[in-house]
Structure 1
Amino acid sequence: MTTVLLVDDQALVRSGFRFILSVEDDLEVVGESPDGARAVEAARELRPDVVLMDVQMPVMDGIEATRQVVAEDLSRVLVLTTFDTDEYVFDALAAGASGFLLKNSDAEHLVEAVRTVADGQALLSPQVTRRVVDRMVSTSSADSPAGPPVGSPPPGLPPSAPGAELLTPREREVLVHVGQGMSNAEIAAELFLGEATVKTHVSSVLSKLHLRDRVQAVVYVHRHGLA
C-alpha cells in the first residue's frame, strides 16, 4: 500500500484528489494539510510514501515545504500546480521534488504519477521535461557559444564530470540521451536496444554517479556540457 499526504490550501481540491486516489486498491490517503508548514509537520508524523504538494499556499509555500521534506528524508514529493511556468518548475526541482505535474492532468495520469514517484522514479510531464532541457541547453549555449551543437553526443564525458570514468561507453551514450529528455522507449529506438536493457543502463548510471533520479541526470548532463 502506497501512502499519500495531500497538501493544498483549497479543501475542495484536496477532496477531489482524495476521491481520485481512494478508488485505487494500492493507494491510501493518510492525511491532508492546508499549508506548507503543517505539511512538514504531518510528513514528520505520518512518514508518507508520497507528498502531493501544491505550490502557492499561505504560511509556507510548497517549494520551501518540499525543500524541508526532502532535506529530512521524510518522503518523496510530487508537485502539482496550475502554474505552467519555468519559475515553479526549476524551483521545485531545485528543492528536490521527484515529480512535477500540472493540475489539468487527468485522473489516470495523476494516479500513475503517484505510483511512479513512490516507486523511486522521477516523473515530469513531457512538456515540462522538454522545457527543462531547452532551458538548460539555451543557458549552456549562452555560456559556451562555441560548444558542440545540441543533439550531437560527444564521444565521451569530459574529465571534469565527476564519476565519468566509471561509466561504460554504452552508459555514456544512454546518459547523454537521458539528458536530452528522451524516454526509455525513445532511447531504445535510437540505439536499437530493448527497453529493459535501457532501463538497466539508466539504473547503473544513476548508481555510479550517485544521482537520485532522471531529473538529476538531466541536470548533470547539462551542468557538465555533455549535450
Structure 2
Amino acid sequence: MCYYVSNQLTRKEMKDTFGVTYEGPDFQGSEFTNGFSYPKTPIVLDDNPDEAILGDWGLIPVWAKDRNMQKSTLNARIETLVEKPSFRDSVSNRCLVLVKGFYEWKWLDSKGKKKEKYFIHLDNGEEPFALGGIYNIWTDEETEETLTSFSIVTSNANELMAEIHNTKDRMPLVLSKEAEEAWLSDRSIDNFAFPNYSPDLIAINLDVAGSQPTLF
C-alpha cells in the first residue's frame, strides 16, 4: 500500500517538473508525510491540468456525513475501484499526486518485528513525479466547508515492490511522464494495472549504511 510519502515540493519544482502553477497558500510539505494525519498534498486535477492545488489525503465520498472514513480511503485498489461504494463515483475523477518518493518496509521475520525501511522513487534522475489518484469534492453540511480529497490508487506489485512489500504485494500507481497525461485523460484503468503497466523504480535501503540503489 502507500501511506508514507515525501511531498516537500516548491512552487518552482511544480512548475519545472509538471508545468503547473501553484497559487495556493504557502506549502512546505515534509520529507516524511504520514497519510494517517490526512495531510494536504499537492495534486493536479483532470479538469484543470495546468494548476496544482492542495488536496486532503483520504477520499471523502459525496454521501459521507463526516470525515471519519478517511482512515479507510488513503488508498484505493485499482482492481475494485468500480465496485467499492467509496470510490466508484470517483473512477473518472483522476488526479496526479505530486511527490518526491514514498516509503515502504520489508519484513525480515514472520511477525514484522524486524524490518528494513526503503525509500522508493521513479527512475527519472531524482526528479519529483506523480502518483495516480482519484478525487472527490465534498461539502461538510455542518460547516459548509468544501474539501477536495483524494486516494492514491494501488496495484499488484511488480518484481521490485513484491520483494520489498513482501506481506501485501502492493504498490502505488507510479506514473512515468508519458503516463501522466494518459491517466488524466480517463484511459481505461485496466491499462494501469500491473502487469499491463510497470514503472521503472529505484529503491534505497535506508537501514543499511552505504546501501546501493536497487533498480527494476
TM-score of the two chains, using structure 2 as the length reference? 0.28
More strand by share: 2
Task: Please state which structure has a larger fraction of its residues in helix.
Answer: 1
Q: TM-score by structure 1 length?
A: 0.27
| Higher relative contact order, structure no. (Cα contacts within 8 Å, ≥ 6 residues apart) | 2
